[in-house]
């Protein structure tokens, strides 16, 4: 299969978990909706157009491998405008038309990502390749100011293989019900915690498609899927198919 392989780095990036409110916890890696947003910036199109033309119809599939050097927390104070509060302000009962609230945003620091994109239409390979070199808007992963720098863009071919070992990636599988093995020998001396509960795969339910309200432009998740995030602790999936990049010694699955 043909892939567009993208190497990129970011200083601070965050990928908010949809079910966290006042504490915005981040996923360890960006998923398809976030990568779609990056492609939308390259193409100069809106998030709704990305959703309708690229995500819902699976116009592209992706795999990813990446890691970060650490985490930080970003503290915000926000203003919440509510009808009740604004009416109270207009009547002179409240001092301001808004309420304040504090939100904590978890950030990944000094992240490196390798993206593998494949497209249904061969013409999209060259179009996206060219637009990533000369994007319409600044490229980011996460919020719009969480910029990334692309260091390499290559079009490569990889064959699907079985019995691969994975680390620092995400797979579209529920590893709570699928057989896997931990490669302790391959993790000797590596940078991972001795607490296996911390290093075990994170299994999360994630929105993968949305509907947009024509009046408010508010988006609502309409489809969810289970994904498993694999950390520094390498695991082997003996019965699952994936792709192996021999040049970089990396394995991944696409979704």
Q: What's the whole-number average pLDDT of the chain?
A: 92
- Whether residue 186 has pLDDT greater than 70: no
- Whether residue 75 has pLDDT greater than 80: yes
Strands 235-245, 250-252: pairing is antiparallel
Mean pLDDT of 173-187: 87
Q: What is the DSSP code string of 140-191?
A: BSSSTT-BEEEEEEEEEE--EEEEEEE-SEEESS-TTSS--EE-TGGGTTSS
pLDDT of residue 167: 96
Higher-confidence residue of 72 and 212: namely: 72
CA distances from residue 14 to 10, 68, 81, 83 in whole angstroms, order as listed: 10, 11, 25, 31
In terms of phi and psi (left: phi > 0; alpha: psi -120 to 50; beta: otherwise), the region of 205 is: beta
pLDDT of residue 193: 56
Residue listed under structure tokens 């795969």? 201
- Whether residue 22 has pLDDT greater than 70: yes
pLDDT of residue 195: 64
pLDDT of residue 196: 67
With a pLDDT cut of 90, the percent of the chain lying above it is 78
Model confidence pLDDT, tens digit, residues 195-229: 667 788 999 999 888 888 877 778 888 889 999 99
pLDDT of residue 194: 58
pLDDT of residue 185: 72
pLDDT of residue 213: 82
Mean pLDDT of 31-48: 96
The fold of 2-252 is Alpha-Beta Plaits (3.30.70)
Mean pLDDT of 77-82: 88
Buried b / exposed e across 48-85, counting CB within 10 Å, b at 16+? bebbbebbeeeebbbbbbbbbeeeeeeeeeeeeeeeeb
- Whether residue 189 has pLDDT greater than 50: no
Flag whether the pTM goes above 0.85. yes
Higher-confidence residue of 242 and 18: namely: 242
Mean pLDDT of 4-14: 98
Mean pLDDT of 15-39: 92
pLDDT of residue 5: 98
- Whether residue 191 has pLDDT greater than 70: no
In terms of phi and psi (left: phi > 0; alpha: psi -120 to 50; beta: otherwise), the region of 225 is: beta
Q: In the beta sheet, which residues pair with residue 252?
A: 243
Model confidence pLDDT, tens digit, residues 95-121: 999 988 898 999 999 999 999 999 999
């Amino acid at each position: 299969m043909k892939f567009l392989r993208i190497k990129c780095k970011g200083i601070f990036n965050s990928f908010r978990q949809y079910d966290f409110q006042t504490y915005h916890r981040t996923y360890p890696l960006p998923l398809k909706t976030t990568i779609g947003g990056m492609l939308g910036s390259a193409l100069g199109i809106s998030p709704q157009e990305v959703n309708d033309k690229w995500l819902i119809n699976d116009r592209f599939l992706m795999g990813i491998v990446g890691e970060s050097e650490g985490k930080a927390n970003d503290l915000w104070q926000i203003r919440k405008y509510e009808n009740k509060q604004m009416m109270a302000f207009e009547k002179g009962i409240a001092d301001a038309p808004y309420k304040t609230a504090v939100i904590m945003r978890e950030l990944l620091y000094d992240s490196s990502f390798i993206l593998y994109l494949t497209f249904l239409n061969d013409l999209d390979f060259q179009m996206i390749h060219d637009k990533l070199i000369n994007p319409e808007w600044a490229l980011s992963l996460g919020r719009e100011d969480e910029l990334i720098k692309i260091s390499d863009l290559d079009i490569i071919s990889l064959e699907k293989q079985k019995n691969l070992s994975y680390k620092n990636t995400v797979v579209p599988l529920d590893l709570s019900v699928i057989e896997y093995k931990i490669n302790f020998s391959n993790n000797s001396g590596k940078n991972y915690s001795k607490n296996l509960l911390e290093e075990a795969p994170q299994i999360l339910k994630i929105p993968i498609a949305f509907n947009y309200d024509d009046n408010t432009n508010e988006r609502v998740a309409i489809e969810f899927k289970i994904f498993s995030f694999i950390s520094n602790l390498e695991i082997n999936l003996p019965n699952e198919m994936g792709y192996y990049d021999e040049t970089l010694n990396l394995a991944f699955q696409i979704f």
